[in-house]
Amino acid sequence: MKAWFAIPLWQRVIGALILGIILGRVWGPDAASIKIIGDVFIGFIKMLVVPLIFFSLVAGVAAIGDIRKLGAVGGRALLLFVLTGQIAVWLGLALGTLLAPGSGVDTSAIAMGDVPEPNETTFNDMILGMIPQSPVQVMADVNVLPLIIFSLLIGIGILMAKEDGEPVLKIFESGSVVMQKVTLVVMELTPFGVFALMAWVAGTLGLDALAALGKLVALNYLGCLLIIALIYGAMIKFIAKLPVIDFFRGIIDAIAVSYSTASSNATLPVTLRCAQRNLGVSNSVASFVISLGATINMNGTAMYLGLATLFGAQIFGVDLSWGDYFLISILGTLGAVGAAGIPGAGLIMMALVFGAVGVPLETIAFVAGVDRIMDMMRTTTNVSGDAAVATTVAALTGEIDVPEMISADDV
């Protein structure tokens, strides 16, 4: 048992992925008999959606502090977080639409319920549906958009209550930490779920399905690299007016740690050190922006939620309208905000986006086997974004030592 846990989780997942594919190819369609193991894993993931979003979002909003005291730093940081998140999710939608990673896969061998009807909700219905008329019913129905609105309002209420809201804030902060720990426990089931699900995919759907998953992985990496190079690079060059090469040289340590751990929270101390010592960002700006970004700035996750939703729609033949695209862009951004900065959180957020636009949740089982490989790159994107926003805000507010950034050695 100790030897098992001594192996890093990502290595266990990749090993399970390979073994599952081998078993599926050897066993054939009968490999579907062990899919129940993967279904149990997916069931635990669905279990986490509502409490994780609720506690994480409320705690994240309340962590902003007194909005009136944040001034230029908080306003600029939040604006950049929202704008880059929207660009990222639309990039994922564009890649999924143009390159269609899920097309051409025969899913007739998959035993599943009826494919939900395409979402025909009007814009007015969508607006009214965002109002959480009964928060308890919203949670019971896993109606995520009004749940997100309710969570944001609770966080704002805590901010407005100031000292009187501190006892409630502590409850949500503790709840957020507890849910992250529960998520880590569930993530320990990943190797077993991946093994069973990949055996099912390889044995039931064959090489076409594996090729589609490979294409999804490639597009995930392409989207993340485009975000890092184009969006963050443009932010540093044209808004912060700083040398791009020096910026990326300064965060190389954070990039390495984030890719290996697939956890924004685990990388947080390294990101802070890189921003302060290598990029010359003041301690106050770095601490606030990067800590907040580790909670709500998940551009890699936002991009992937858009891409994965189209992947599932293409596999299962779900027609999506422009209204669905708009809804995905909103839920992808807000879902990324609610995603905890720990491995596997993006997989959990899929359930909220898929359900809203009628994409079968079987898609989660389909992609779970390769999610860890993609999660490593998404986390690198998220962490790089935290550093980019902190550096840009510091440059705009005069809270950066530019000579230190240009001359700093990687430490």
Please list the pLDDT of the chain residue by residue as tens digits (411 residues).
Answer: 788 888 887 788 888 888 998 999 999 889 889 989 988 887 887 788 788 778 877 876 776 666 564 556 778 888 899 899 999 999 999 999 999 998 877 776 665 544 445 455 566 766 777 788 888 888 887 776 688 788 878 988 988 888 899 999 999 989 988 887 887 888 788 889 889 888 888 888 777 888 899 999 999 999 999 999 999 999 999 999 999 999 999 999 899 888 877 778 778 878 988 998 899 998 878 877 887 787 678 899 999 999 999 999 998 888 998 989 998 998 888 777 656 556 666 777 787 788 888 888 778 878 887 888 898 899 999 999 999 999 999 999 888 988 877 765 444
For the beta carbon of residue 285, count every other beta carbon within 10 angstroms: 23
For residue 202, give every residue at least 6 positions away whose Cβ sits within 8 Å of its Cβ, in sequence order, or none: 20, 21, 22, 23, 24, 25, 31, 209, 210
Cα 194 to the center of its chain, rounded Å: 19
Q: How many DSSP H helices and E strands does the chain contain? A: 20, 0
SS3 state of residue 236: helix
CA nearest to 381, candidates 18, 66, 87, 94:
87
CATH of domain 9-407: 1.10.3860.10
For the beta carbon of residue 265, count every other beta carbon within 10 angstroms: 17
SS3 state of residue 408: coil
Task: Report the amino acid identity of residue 55.
Answer: F
Vertex 42 angle, CA 262 and 353, to 5°? 75
Cβ atoms 262, 10 nearer than 8 A: yes
- The structural domains of the chain, with segments of one domain joined by +, span 9-407
For the beta carbon of residue 90, count every other beta carbon within 10 angstroms: 18
- DSSP tag of 230: I
Question: How are the residues of the chain apportioned to helix, strand and coil, as percentages rounded to the nearest 5?
Answer: 80, 0, 20
Exposure string (b/e) for 125-151, b if CB count within 10 Å is 16 or more? ebeebeebeebeebbeeebbbbbbbbb
For residue 378, give every residue at least 6 positions away whose Cβ sits within 8 Å of its Cβ, in sequence order, or none: 220, 224, 262, 298, 300, 301, 303, 304, 346
Task: Report the amino acid identity of residue 106.
Answer: D
Q: Rounded distance, CA 41 to CA 272, Å?
A: 34
Q: Rounded distance, CA 54 to CA 33, Å?
A: 35
